[in-house]
């Protein structure tokens, strides 16, 4: 039976962590609802505080409902913040967790006051953006408290890898080129070779990156998005992803032989000659640039930059040399957002940059789960991934940090664009699933839990991108 380290009804540390998680999600929900209130000018329909009087104009009933939702959410979240702080004060929380939660509670009271003044006098009465800034500080503080509490509850001081165990049986399991028996049928050999070339293009990455580019186009064009722009941009994007993947296979073919998850790649087993793979990658690059050039030169330049960044900067410079490879390498996944925006506008705008920021910050929160699952494999390959160099405890903590940063970036995207209720509901629901999976990862600390969090991150981003598409194109 777990020791009751916190006052009832919380009792156990795991329940306290659950309360912290719920509080963080509540503040996040409040920030999203607040952004929606601002965008729809719903606050103008309610100039009294703490309650709202019915407006004279019946057309403002919807805005009034949004304003009411914001205030009711603030009440519930305020109770959560207070309860969490009290549980920390009277429970077995660390001093820094307790301090952060007390400060967050005091700032919440200040934020309520700022909101009251803004509602009754107007946004110009106090420094513009102060209400939102306070909310972001409160949210960041609660996530920090959650990460620190989970580190105390589930962490270990020494879980990095010093010397990985070699894969003794790998060479026996994967045949070399001289040992492999190719199919006797010409058709079967052609099908095997075609699949090998397809595998080099990393098709699993295509659906999500194409969604990123499509969301960028939708934000830029809205319902007026042209079919040709969609086809040319996504076609060029698929070819660019294929080229990047092919060059990655070429450059990592020796390291791939040391890792169980990559040992059967076409170049690692000499199924495809290196010169043929290079020619294939160059051909895909040329076709990709050709497709982008039918739109505009900026899209083509960004497409080439994406290929070069992933193939050279990430694969050769970042991945084998720095523990921050995943963080900086997130720029490769963020570029399709700019490509999609540029394909429509022939420029780089703030909404495109905001979407790229969401992808950039999401990437470590997403990939660190995979790095945890394949920790030993990456160590054998000599890659300084976060779990290998800093350990699993630090990696899990950084997953929470980057989830919080991703959530903040989705709020920024909502403020910059005109995305509405569908987007707001999607980021809150799927963000909650993602955060909950990451918290469970802390307690379970298994490969299955890491994959669960990994898939939750995919579901979060996929759902958010679809919501952006629908919101931008249909409303």
Rounded mean pLDDT of the chain?
87
Task: State the pLDDT at residue 403.
Answer: 96
| Nearest to 196, CA basis, from 209, 180, 218, 207 | 180
Task: State the pLDDT at residue 397.
Answer: 94
| Contact of 182 with 189, CB cutoff 8 Å | yes
Q: Higher pLDDT residue, 323 or 269?
A: 323
Task: State the pLDDT at residue 373.
Answer: 94
DSSP labels for 171-230? HHHS--TTT----SSHHHHHHHHHHHHHHHT-GGGHHHHHHHHHHHHHHHHGGG--HHHH
Distance CA 417, CA 39 (A): 9
pLDDT digits (tens, 9 = 90+) for 117-140: 877 776 665 665 787 888 899 999
Distance CA 203, CA 24 (A): 35
Residues 6 or more apart whose Cβ sits within 8 Å of residue 309: 331, 332, 335
**For the chain, how many residues are written?**
475
Task: State the pLDDT at residue 37.
Answer: 65
Task: State the pLDDT at residue 62.
Answer: 63
Averaged over 254-266, what is the pLDDT?
Answer: 87
Q: Is the pTM value of this prediction over 0.85?
A: yes
Residue 304, pLDDT above cutoff 50: yes
| Contact of 438 with 401, CB cutoff 8 Å | no
Distance CA 309, CA 465 (A): 23
Task: State the pLDDT at residue 404.
Answer: 94
Tokens 């698929």, located at residue: 238
| Nearest to 456, CA basis, from 366, 393, 396, 334 | 366
Task: State the pLDDT at residue 413.
Answer: 93
Split at pLDDT 50, 70, 90, the class of 103 is: very high
Residue 58, pLDDT above cutoff 50: no
pLDDT digits (tens, 9 = 90+) for 366-405: 999 999 999 999 998 889 999 999 999 999 999 999 999 9
């Amino acid at each position: 039976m777990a020791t009751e380290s916190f006052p009832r009804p919380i009792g156990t540390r795991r329940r306290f962590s659950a309360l912290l998680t719920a509080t963080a999600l509540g503040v996040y929900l409040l920030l999203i609802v607040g952004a929606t209130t601002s965008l729809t000018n719903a606050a103008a329909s309610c100039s009294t505080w703490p309650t709202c009087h019915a407006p004279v104009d019946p057309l403002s009933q919807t805005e009034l409902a949004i304003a009411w939702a914001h205030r009711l959410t603030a009440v519930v979240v305020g109770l959560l913040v207070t309860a969490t702080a009290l549980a920390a004060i009277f429970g077995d929380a660390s001093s820094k967790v307790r301090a952060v939660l007390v400060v967050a509670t005091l700032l919440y009271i200040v934020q309520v006051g700022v909101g009251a003044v803004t509602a009754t006098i107007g946004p110009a009465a106090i420094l513009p953006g102060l209400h939102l800034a306070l909310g972001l500080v409160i949210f960041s503080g609660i996530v920090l408290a959650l990460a620190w509490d989970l580190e105390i509850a589930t962490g270990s001081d020494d879980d990095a890898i010093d010397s990985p165990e070699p894969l003794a049986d790998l060479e026996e399991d994967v045949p070399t080129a001289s040992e492999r028996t190719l199919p006797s049928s010409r058709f079967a050999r052609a099908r095997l070779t075609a699949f090998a070339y397809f595998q080099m293009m990393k098709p699993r990455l295509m659906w999500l990156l194409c969604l990123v580019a499509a969301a960028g186009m939708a934000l830029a064009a809205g319902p007026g998005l042209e079919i040709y722009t969609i086809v040319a941009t996504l076609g060029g994007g698929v070819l660019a992803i294929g080229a990047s993947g092919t060059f990655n296979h070429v450059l990592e073919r020796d390291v791939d032989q040391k890792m169980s998850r990559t040992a059967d790649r076409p170049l690692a087993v000499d199924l495809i000659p290196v010169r043929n793979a290079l020619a294939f990658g160059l051909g895909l690059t040329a076709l990709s640039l050709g497709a982008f050039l039918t739109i505009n030169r900026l899209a083509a330049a960004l497409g080439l930059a994406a290929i070069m960044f992933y193939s050279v900067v990430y694969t050769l410079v970042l991945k084998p040399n720095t523990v921050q490879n995943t963080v900086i390498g997130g720029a490769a996944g963020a570029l399709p957002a700019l490509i999609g925006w540029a394909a429509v506008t022939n420029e780089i705008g703030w909404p495109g940059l905001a979407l790229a920021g969401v992808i950039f910050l999401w990437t470590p929160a997403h990939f660190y789960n995979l790095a945890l699952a394949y920790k030993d494999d990456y160590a054998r390959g000599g890659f300084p991934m976060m779990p290998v160099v800093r350990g699993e405890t630090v990696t899990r903590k950084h997953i929470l940090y980057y989830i919080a940063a991703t959530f903040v970036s989705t709020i920024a995207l909502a403020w910059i664009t005109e995305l509405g209720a569908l987007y707001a509901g999607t980021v809150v629901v799927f963000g909650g699933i993602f955060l909950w999976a990451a918290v469970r990862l802390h307690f379970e600390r298994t490969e299955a839990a890491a994959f669960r969090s990994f898939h939750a991150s995919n579901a979060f981003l996929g759902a958010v991108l679809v919501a952006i598409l629908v919101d931008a194109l249909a409303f």
